[in-house]
Amino acid sequence: MSDRLAVLPQYLLPKQALTQLMGKLAGLEGGSATTAVIRWFIQRYKVNMSEALEADPAAYKSFNQFFTRPLRPGVRPLADADWVCPVDGAISQLGRITGAAGDQIFQAKGHHYSTQALVGGDAALAAQFAHGHFATIYLSPRDYHRIHMPCAGRLLRMIYVPGDLFSVNPTTARGVPGLFARNERVVCVFEGDDGRPWVNVLVGATIVGSMATVWHGIVNPPRPGTVREWAYHDRELRLARGAEMGRFLLGSTVVLLFPPG
């Protein structure tokens, strides 16, 4: 079956309604019923609970608590490097931002999308990454779903961009043009210690109940259908390399943007 045919049902599903319903269910505290769902999920996706701070599935009051579980201290030591991976997951794509204008990000075979579309239409922001580099990292259901700082940085802006809620698995990435620039997303703009910008984009997906950051809390819902922005230029909001910066409540993918060099 071709990838385009495989993703056809996603065009027909009521993705927003399904996501809202699953978000509510994931937040319910259902006692033994919640524990049973968590146990099924652990077995189905082979989740390694030995890494979790709390390994007992019955300790989690809701599925969301389990899904955003913290890890035991020391199980993710930081590499001795200027940049570290911000999430557990698989790097699905990595490379230079190409094209005549230096604004094209490779998604999958036959598909590119623009940096301007990814960041919600802000041409000035996108221009800072012309001919730079990107990394796309996919989190599977079994992964740890908190997001950490790949390097130290000062928060400048956060932009909520409304969009679709397609799945972000590899098959969908191959079958849906411009997937990461059409799904709902939260764009976090930082300034590194060298004074240069970098961006971490949190991409939503089907049944991703919400995305949250440590400085704001839950960003969505609400889902007003319009771009929203928060500015932090006048605040000294700095996060260290490896510090937690956010989390997915179900889902998803992050896309990092770096300037040239």
210 has catalytic annotation:
no
One-letter amino acid at 70 equals P
Q: Is 216 a catalytic residue?
A: no
Q: Is-contact 63 43, C-beta < 8 A?
A: no
- The two most distant CA atoms of the chain are separated, in Å, by 57
Length of the chain equals 261
Q: How far apart are CA 133 and CA 116, in angstroms?
A: 14
| Interatomic CA distance for residues 189 and 160, integer angstroms | 12
Question: Active site includes 50?
Answer: no
Catalytic residue among 88, 103, 122, 143: 88
H or E element that contains 129: none
Q: 103, 122, 148, 167: which one is catalytic?
A: 148
Strands (E), the chain: 90-96, 104-108, 111-114, 133-138, 146-148, 153-161, 185-192, 197-203, 210-213, 217-220, 228-231, 238-239, 244-249, 253-258
Nearest alpha carbon to residue 7 among 205, 181, 248 = 205
Q: How far is residue 66 CA from its own chain's centroid? A: 18
Q: Under 8 Å CB-to-CB from 224, ≥6 apart: which residues?
A: 162
Tell me if 187 sits within 8 A of 231, measured CB to CB.
no
Which of the residues are catalytic? 88, 148, 252
